Amino acid sequence: MRATAIAQPNIALIKYWGKRDLQRNLPAVGSISITLRDLSTTMSVEFDDPLPADSLTINDIDAQQMLPRISACIDRVIGQTRPRARINSRCNFPVAAGLASSASAFAAATLAAAAAAGKSFEQAELANLAGRASGSAARSLLGGFVELENRENDISVETICAADDWPLTVVVAITESGPKAVGSTEAMEISRKTSPFYSAWVERQAHDLGVARQAVLQRDFEQLAAIAEHNCLKMHSIMWASRPPVVYWNSATMRCLQAVRKLQREGTAVFFTIDAGPQLKAVCLPGEAERVSATLGAIEGVSEVMMSALGGAARVLDAS
């Protein structure tokens, strides 16, 4: 009745932004991400009948605010008439700051809950269970370059290139480590309802996915860089043009972006992407990682730089 699972966050290169079905948490668009190796969430779920209610700690601190979503995730995996659970999560990177902590958390919770209850699921079922909890969590079930396909009634995920087959490095520049002001679910709904650019975004996503998929399959760094930056800036443009506007960037985010542009002009194989938070993620060839890290680390307003290779799939560590 106890299991522990580990999952790594993922960074979308072609972004998920907007929901087609809020109730079932179905995305409006497909997405392509890379799973990181060195950032992780390790979650243990222990079912214990005498417990009056579920409990959750994150890094040993009581985390009531996150508990309803984790409990609902476990309900979907096991059923609502389950015993109450003691959930302990450890995360080695800032939570809720645009670093995809919900992706790794809900992927780990889905796997740990299933294993603790002795239930086995097909991968397609796991993807939909994790995706119901958080759209990006389905991608963290798999390693390497992962494409999430947005289908008629559900989602599916597939690794389109293994981590070892194109070993890129991600350098994350932390410009603010506190939780974000607007959650991504709320920001997506504001975008869908009010942004004049939203429908154009949804229409064009199949094109961007096709270009990025081809770039990954051909290991074409320049093509991937161009489409990923374009897709990222489009996503933020939707938010900037919504009412109320949602601006996740701060001045250090912009300084990092300009530094990446300068590195590119100097011939460094690097590109940026930015999610629902102020951190900038630079994706580069492994030989460029030290240079990129040193450059971003020296920028005013960058408090920390983290580096990660691409990683593997989420997995159950132990179950008893």
User: How long, in residues, is the chain?
Assistant: 320
What is the smallest separation between the CB atom of 46 and ligand 2P0, expressed in angstroms?
Answer: 25
CB of 180 to ligand 2P0, least distance (A): 10
Stretch that binds ligand 2P0, among 99-107, 217-225, 285-293, 311-319 (CB under 6 A): 99-107
Our CB check for ligand 2P0 shows the closer of 12 and 257 to be: 12
Among residues 261, 255, 306, 308, which one has the least CA distance to residue 278? Answer: 255
Q: Which residues of 182-208 are buried (b: 16+ CB within 10 A; e: fewer)?
A: eebeebbebbbeebebbeebbeebeeb
CB atoms within 10 A of CB 218: 11
String of contacts with ligand 2P0 for each residue 271-290, x by CB under 6 A = ----xx--------------
d(Cα 70, Cα 123) in Å, to the nearest integer? 20
Q: How far apart are the C-alpha atoms of 102 and 92, rounded to whole Å?
A: 13
Count the site residues for ligand 2P0 by CB under 6 A. 16
Distance from the Cα of residue 179 to its chain's centroid: 15
Draw the binding track, 172-211, toward ligand 2P0 (x: CB under 6 A; -: no contact). Answer: ------------xx--------------------------
- Of residues 2 and 237, the one with the C-beta less far from ligand 2P0: 237
Residue span 10-29 as binding mask against ligand 2P0, x where in contact by CB under 6 A, dash where not:
--x--xxx-------x----
Residue 136 interacting with ligand 2P0 (CB under 6 A) = yes
What's phi and psi for 33, nearest 5 deg? -135, 170
